[in-house]
Amino acid sequence: MTHRPIRIAPSILSADFSRLGEEVRALDAAGADYFHVDIMDGHFVPNISFGPMVMQSIRKLTTKTFDVHLMIAPVDPYIAAFAKAGADSITVHAEAGPHLQRSLQAIKAEGKRAGVAINPATPLSAVEHILDDIDLLLVMSINPGFGGQTFIPHAMEKIRQAKALLGNRPIDLEVDGGVTADNARELAQAGINVFVAGTAILGGNDMTTYASRIAAIRNAASTVTA
């Protein structure tokens, strides 16, 4: 189970992009802790989202943490651009290049929190030698590329193993994919403290529902006690 503060991170990939600024303001007011910003290149993952200019345009609308998830390869050439555009935390994929530690060093050189993401089929051994270089470990519970996918069941055991691997290190454990109020408690029990949720919060894009949906995930996760 987790002992770090619970953080709810709506994924703006699920926002209505015709009114993106309004969506950001609504999520901020609804109690989002972080904004999870999915950057996709159509190469590493089979979808394209947006680039640093769009992110920079919404950065001024909130003071909340921008949790930027770079699903791009090669990733190193873009780290500085997203740092400059307002990222607070930058997560790169272990699978995105041959020199993971170098990528993490580049993020740290920009003064940002460094994270590593691993896809469902990637073993935890891919990150065990860089744990002292990261602030966040993101376990993907879907195959990245599209929102609205269903949680992959075997990810739960992987999360438990990830928590054990992290030990007492001051590292956030994040999950992305199929997160709902229904599985948030079990995820928290497994060790998750940062919950990325797209459809579960923004589905239907009715801004009046965001606060109750965020609260439902937070409340479910918070029922876990040490």
Catalytic residue annotation: 38, 176
- How distant is the alpha carbon of residue 74 from its chain centre? 19
Beta bridge partners of 67: 36, 89
- Local structure of 27: helix, strand or coil: helix
Which tokens go with 188? 């928290």
Rounded distance, CA 138 to CA 158, Å? 11
- Local structure of 175: helix, strand or coil: strand
Structural contact between residues 173 and 191, judged by C-beta atoms closer than 8 angstroms: yes
Which tokens go with 61? 């609308």
Beta bridge partners of 8: 195
Rounded distance, CA 50 to CA 182, Å? 30
Rounded distance, CA 189 to CA 17, Å? 34
